[in-house]
Structure 1
Amino acid sequence: MKRINEYKKLFGAEQDMSLKSLKSTYRNLVKEWHPDKFQAGDDKAIEAELKSRQIIDGYHFLVSIAPETKAANLDEYHETINTPIMDWQHKGLVLEITFLDGNTYEFFGVNKALYIKLCQSDKLTRFAKRNIFNTYTYRKIKKSDVEA
């Protein structure tokens, strides 16, 4: 959640920003903070390099959780969450789940108590469908290696 809020603040985004406005904001920020605008070796150039990396990372992250992106990939998401869970791990408030089809998703805001309940569940996929998959903000972080 911290990362989401940090990137939204960087882009000046409201709750849900459209892909079109996100792209125009991204372009303006890249123009403003492009490292080639500053003298090499200057402190401002080093700051611009770091800021431009943060802008690029933020753009890709916000695009991956945008409502339009989710809507475009909804069928694939539903197909994936109906496959068995192969692996899962919890870091802070981020739950990373790898499915048997090879896709990996991150779910943001999942607290430790819910993670413990998931670990103790005898039917992982059923528990996750009811309590995680349709409740928390998610993004796909790894595509399957196998193409159908």
Structure 2
Amino acid sequence: MKRVNKYKKLFGVEQEIDLIQLKTNYRNLVKQWHPDKFPEGDEKHAEAEIKSKEIIDGYHFLVSIAPQTKAENLDSYNQTISESGIYDFQHKGNVLEISFLDGTTYEYFGVTKPLYIKLINSPKQYRFAKRNIFNSFLYRKSKKDLDLQTV
């Protein structure tokens, strides 16, 4: 959730993410922090390069968790969580990354370590995740979709 709050603060997003306003804020920030605005070798140039990468990452991240994006991909998400089993999962910080047998990967934000331990110890991990994780936490589709090919 730190990442979500950090990017929301960067773009001045209060509550719900509005894609039109987000895009406007993104363009303004990119104009403000574009490295070409500062002379090469200047310390502001190096700072602008770092800041512009952060702005780009933040924009793509917030777009991926925006309500409009989630609504567009809801059918695909529901199909994945209802028809495909869990291939693999890992927990880092408060982010649980689950890879499914259909090759898609989703990140769930705010999953605590005790809940993750319960998932690990559950005799039916898919059932546990379906009841306690899939529709309870903020999620986004990860760019790390797996290429699962049967040998």
Indicate the residue corresponding to 1:48 in structure 2.
48
Q: 2-side partners of 1:76 and 1:26: how far apart? A: 28
Which amino acid in structure 2 is aligned with residue 4 of structure 1? V
* 1-structure distance, mates of 2:91, 2:145: 19
1:124 corresponding residue in structure 2: 125
> Which secondary structure state, in structure 2, belongs to the residue aligned with residue 30 of structure 1?
helix
Paired position in structure 2 for 1:18: 18
> Which string of whole-angstrom CA distances, capped at 9 and with x for unpartnered residues, describes residues 17-72 of structure 1?
21111011000000000000000000011111100000000000000000000000
Unaligned residue ranges in structure 1 (runs of 5+): none
Counterpart in the other structure of 1:3: 3
Letter in 2 for 1:79: Q
Q: Amino acid of the residue matched to residue 86 of structure 2? A: I
**d(CA) in 1 for partners of 2:124 and 2:80?**
16
Task: Provide the C-alpha distance between the structure 1 equivalents of 2:17 and 2:131, rounded to a whole number of angstroms.
Answer: 28
Report the AA paired with residue 65 of structure 2.
I
CA distance in 1, matches of 2:124, 2:85: 10
Q: 3-state DSSP class of the match of 2:133?
A: helix
3-state SS of 2:91 partner? strand
Q: Please tell me the root mean square deviation across aligned C-alpha atoms, in Å.
A: 1.0
State the one-letter code of the partner of 2:49: E
Task: Kindly tell me the number of residue pairs found equivalent between the two proteins.
Answer: 146
Q: Give the secondary structure class of the aligned counterpart of 1:87.
A: strand
Partner SS, residue 53 of structure 1: helix
Matched, 1:107 2:108: yes
Q: CA deviation at 1:145?
A: 3.8
Write the distance in 2 (CA, Å) between the matches of 1:91 and 1:113: 13
Displacement after TM superposition at 1:144 (Å): 5.1
Runs of 4+ with >6 A deviation = none
Residue aligned with 1:101, SS = coil
SS of 1:133's partner is coil
- Cα distance in 2, alignment partners of residues 145 and 2 from structure 1: 30
For 1:113 and 1:29, how far apart are their aligned partners in 2? 38
Matches within 5 A, 1:61-80: 61-80=61-80
